[in-house]
Homo-oligomer: A and B are copies of this chain.
Amino acid sequence: MTELDDLDRKILTELQRHADTPLDALGQVVGLSRNACWRRIKAMEAAGVIRARVALLDAAKVGLPLTVFMQIRAAAHDADWLAKFARATRAMPQIQGVYRMTGDLDYLICARVADMADYDRLYQTLIARVPMGDVSASFVMEEIKHSTELPLFEG
């Protein structure tokens, strides 16, 4: 895949909001024919620009109203620890994101839980599977913004 042009970006902007937009409507918005849109989409899927089409759920309505961020300090500063940590967190479905931060010793985890007891279960499970240097948790009181949409045009 070459670089994305403005038409590609228009298509992506729409698909990021509504993945189920019919090609006809998409073509109208973008200013291209059905077919041209379709070809571009396929190319971007093949290139991995479009990773997946997914359904987003309301976390509260499926029983996971609480979001928690955990700040973690590694117990050991080596590749083995990281591998074990990565494997453990990837296997835990309540964990939405795991990020190694600048500093090389700090990790950030974002997870969704039902309540405090559920969080404690998550915490206990995690420290049982991987030795932790230090763990602190902050809970989300209010989700002011939450989006999966990436900006594709210069501000």
Instruction: Work out how many copies of this chain go into the complex.
Output: 2
Tell me whether B146 and A97 are in contact (CB under 8 A). Answer: yes
For A49, give its contact among B53, B62, B98 (CB under 8 Å).
B62
Q: Which of A16, A17, A56 has the most CB of B within 10 A?
A: A56
Complex interface: chain B residues within 8 A of A47 (CB): 61
Interface residue A155 (Cβ < 8 Å from any Cβ of B): yes
Decide yes or no: A150 and B99 within 8 Å by CB, A54-B53, A55-B50 being known contacts: no
Of chain B, the residue at the smallest CB distance from A14 is: B55
A31-39, A73-81, A88-96: which lies at the interface: A88-96
By a CB distance below 8 angstroms, the chain B residues around A85 are: 144
How big is the A interface, by class? 35 or more
> Does A24 reach chain B (CB closer than 8 Å)?
no
A155 to B112, CA, bound (A): 13
* Chain B residues whose C-beta falls within 8 Å of the C-beta of A103 in the assembled complex: 138
Once the chains bind, are B15 and A54 in contact (CB under 8 Å)?
A: yes
- Do B54 and A19 have beta carbons less than 8 Å apart? yes
Contacts of A89 in B (CB 8 A): 144-145
Distance, CA A17 to CA B57, complexed state (A): 11
Do B86 and A61 touch across chains, with their CB atoms under 8 A apart? no
Task: Report Cα–Cα, A112/B4, bound state, in Å.
Answer: 18
Residue numbers of A with Cβ under 8 A of B are 4, 12, 15-20, 47-59, 61-62, 64, 67, 69, 85-86, 89-90, 92-104, 106-108, 112, 121, 125, 138-152, 155
